[in-house]
């Protein structure tokens, strides 16, 4: 059974190294993407300081929309059109986006008015973008390059451990 351990938050590089280690232990041996995204979301939510929402959106081809998946935080927008908002833009561009102040992002979708900054990591699976990991913070300028690199490594680990339909 996986045990969530508190991670020291003194150095981001060490923090993400330990978060990655815990994610690897948690993801090992299970391939269901819903179960894995739910647990990974919880791990990030309980470990990453100064966040108010952490969750996944998965692309539904038949609807041409990103649909809310497992998350932690306040109720959220259920459907996002590719190319709209930070999540839809990261999905379409197939690259991570860090937004220091969501009020300055043209077309930002306000699911939670308390959110001030955001990072979105696309989920690239077998040459397809299947969704995004979205993390919000009530603090402007919350996410930096080290956060992006650490979260991209964890998303890559997630992708390598799942089977997606």
Fold of 12-160: Beta-Lactamase (3.30.450)
Tokens read off for 34: 């819903």
Residue 36 CA to residue 42 CA, distance in Å, equals: 10
Question: What does the pLDDT look like over 74-119, one tens digit per residue?
Answer: 999 999 999 999 999 999 999 999 999 999 999 889 888 899 999 9
Question: What does the pLDDT look like over 11-27, one tens digit per residue?
Answer: 899 999 999 999 999 99
Domain ranges of the chain: 12-160
Question: What does the pLDDT look like over 137-146, one tens digit per residue?
Answer: 999 999 999 9
Helix, strand, coil percentages, rounded to 5, for the chain: 35, 25, 40
CA nearest neighbour of 16 among 101, 164, 119, 87:
119
Question: What does the pLDDT look like over 35-50, one tens digit per residue?
Answer: 999 999 999 999 999 9
Q: Which residues pair with residue 136 across a beta bridge?
A: 53, 118
């Amino acid at each position: 059974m996986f045990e969530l351990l508190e991670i020291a938050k003194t150095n981001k590089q060490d923090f993400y190294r330990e978060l990655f280690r815990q994610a690897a232990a948690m993801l090992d041996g299970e391939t269901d993407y819903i179960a894995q995204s739910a647990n990974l979301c919880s791990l990030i939510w309980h470990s990453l300081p100064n966040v108010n929402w952490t969750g996944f959106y998965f692309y539904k081809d038949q609807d041409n929309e990103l649909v809310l998946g497992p998350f932690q935080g306040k109720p959220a927008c259920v459907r996002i059109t590719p190319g709209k908002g930070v999540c839809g833009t990261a999905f379409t561009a197939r690259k991570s986006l860090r937004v220091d102040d969501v009020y300055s992002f043209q077309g930002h979708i306000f699911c939670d008015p308390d959110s001030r900054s955001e990072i979105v990591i696309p989920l690239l699976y077998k040459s397809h973008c299947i969704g995004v990991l979205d993390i919000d913070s009530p603090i402007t300028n919350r996410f930096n390059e080290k956060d992006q690199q650490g979260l991209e490594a964890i998303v890559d680990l997630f992708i390598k451990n799942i089977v997606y339909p």
